[in-house]
Amino acid sequence: MATDTKIAQSISSTDTSGSSFPRGKNILAVASGKGGVGKTFFSISLTHALSRMGKKVLLFDGDLGLANVDVQLGLMPKRDLNDVIRGRLSLDKVVQRYEDGGFDIIAGRSGQASLSALPSQRLAMLRDQLIELADDYDVVIIDLGAGVDRTVRMFSACATRTLLVSTDEPTSLTDAYAFIKLGSAAGMSKNVSVVVNMASSKTEGEKTYKTLLKACENFLRLSPPLAGMVRQDPKVKETIRHQTPLLTRSPNCDAAGDIEKIAQYAYKEMVEEAKSLLKAGRG
């Protein structure tokens, strides 16, 4: 009962602390099978939407060697993950405030081979530091690289839920299915929810999700829920060209509304999962 009250307070209060969640249970990873489906755009917009809901959010660029959160936001980070990997700074020291969006960012370093080929031990250290840092936030969003490489598997496994982005292109759908199949075979978290991005309409988006769901149910005996869909919207390209977040530049467009809905759903789902974990006494 006391636990319920604590969680309920955490939901209603705007000044919530990540400490209401069991350790590491406030991390959402954004992944995809195929590249270029909108993960980085979605991660930034989701972070921004959560921040506008009054949450304290950190966006971690987990696409280690091909980082581009900073590029989409037009930032020139003074400190980034490279400083952490080289042992110059601890992870909390490379957090940067993105004032315009009201959230924090940890930037990666594009084209840094040492980041994409980190020894497993280093990668695990980075993950552990991130889980520790997550205690200071309501939500941590990790923007991952495409596919299921070691880095993706490790970060996805430490997340409470992975939001798998797919478009309605057949190749993207096949790769999303492969992500779920390989991920579950590799012992990765089965907590995967689907986001259909660049949907030409709600009906098309739903059709795409149902196709993926059917394959997962028939061949993998898994039923990943739909977190939501984001419609194809010309404002997205425009906003990326201007290196400004969508919710700043075009807060009333279709895609912005879709992402706000997903943010509400994903946060609620995260709270529910934390609640059931705490109830089961595993918090």
What does the alpha-carbon distance between residue 59 and residue 98 come to, in Å, rounded to a whole number? Answer: 10
For ligand ATP, the closer CB: 32 or 82 = 32
For ligand ATP, the closer CB: 32 or 156 = 32
User: What does the binding site for Mg ion look like in residue numbers (CB under 5 A)?
Assistant: 39-40
Cα dist from 124 to 85, 86, 118, 140, whole Å = 11, 15, 10, 17
Binding partner selected for residue 38 from Mg ion, ligand ATP, none, CB under the kind-specific 5 to 8 Å limit: ligand ATP
Q: Which stretch binds ligand ATP (CB under 6 A): 75-83, 124-132, 227-235, 267-275?
A: 227-235
CB of 58 to Mg ion, least distance (A): 17
Q: Which residues of 6-23 are buried (b: 16+ CB within 10 A; e: fewer)?
A: ebeebeeeeebebebbbe
Binding partner selected for residue 134 from Mg ion, ligand ATP, none, CB under the kind-specific 5 to 8 Å limit: none
Using DSSP's 3-state secondary structure scheme, residue 79 falls into coil
CB of 245 to Mg ion, least distance (A): 15
20 contact partners, CB below 8 Å, separation of at least 6: 6, 7, 9, 10, 274
Report the 10 Å Cβ neighbour count for 276: 11
By beta carbon distance, the residue nearest Mg ion is 40
CB of 106 to ligand ATP, least distance (A): 16
Number of residues that bind ligand ATP (CB under 6 A): 19
Using CB under 6 A as the criterion, what x/- string covers residues 99-128 for binding ligand ATP?
A: ------------------------------
- Cβ burial of 168 (10 Å; 0-12, 13-18, 19+) is buried
Report the 10 Å Cβ neighbour count for 181: 17
Binding partner selected for residue 240 from Mg ion, ligand ATP, none, CB under the kind-specific 5 to 8 Å limit: ligand ATP
Interaction of residue 271 with ligand ATP, rule CB under 6 A: no
Strands 103-106 and 96-98: antiparallel
Name which position in 26, 40, 47, 156 contacts ligand ATP (CB under 6 A).
40
Using DSSP's 3-state secondary structure scheme, residue 57 falls into strand
Report the 10 Å Cβ neighbour count for 104: 20
Binding partner selected for residue 74 from Mg ion, ligand ATP, none, CB under the kind-specific 5 to 8 Å limit: none
Interaction of residue 239 with ligand ATP, rule CB under 6 A: no
For ligand ATP, the closer CB: 40 or 116 = 40
Residues forming the site for ligand ATP (CB under 6 A):
32, 35-41, 63, 146, 197-198, 230, 232-233, 236-237, 240, 255
